[in-house]
Structure formats: structure tokens, C-alpha cells
């Protein structure tokens, strides 16, 4: 089981404790308890946590000026 401490804060509002949910239809997702941002439906607990923790690369190359 993925611990809440292993989930990053919400990327939109910064809330520290998102929750991981399992649904009877067989999918998992992580959702913020403040702004309700959530991942897409994922087939496993781990893939839902990975999707939530994924962030855009802060060191992406800048687009060239035209």
C-alpha cells in the first residue's frame, strides 16, 4: 500500500495530503481534498501514485524565438 507521505502535495493548490482511492470497477486514482484535482483512472495503486507525483520538468529547454 502506498503511504500518503509518498504522495507529493497537490501541484495546483499545494495541499499536503491528497488521497488514494480504489473503485469497484478496478481502477485507482489520487485526488486532492481541497481543490479536487485528480489523476486519470489508473490500473494499479502504484501507477496512480506515479501519475500524481509526475511533474513537468522544471529545466525544460526554452522555445527558440522566431
Nearest-CA neighbor of 32 among 47, 24, 21? 21
Give the model's pLDDT for residue 46. 94
Write out pLDDT tens, residues 42-55.
999 999 999 999 99
Give the model's pLDDT for residue 65. 65
Please name the residue that has the C-alpha cell 526554452.
62
- From first CA to last CA, the distance across the chain in angstroms is 49
Q: State the pTM of this model.
A: 0.77
- The span from the CA of 25 to the CA of 9, in Å, is 26
- The span from the CA of 34 to the CA of 23, in Å, is 20
Using 50, 70 and 90 to split pLDDT, how confident is the model at 56? Answer: confident
Amino acid at each position: 500500500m502506498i503511504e500518503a507521505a509518498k504522495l507529493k502535495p497537490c501541484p495546483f493548490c499545494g495541499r499536503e495530503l491528497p488521497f488514494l482511492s480504489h473503485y469497484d470497477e478496478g481502477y485507482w486514482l489520487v485526488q486532492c481534498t481541497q481543490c479536487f484535482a485528480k489523476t486519470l483512472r489508473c490500473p494499479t495503486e502504484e501507477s496512480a501514485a506515479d501519475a500524481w507525483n509526475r511533474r513537468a520538468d522544471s529545466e525544460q529547454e526554452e522555445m527558440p524565438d522566431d
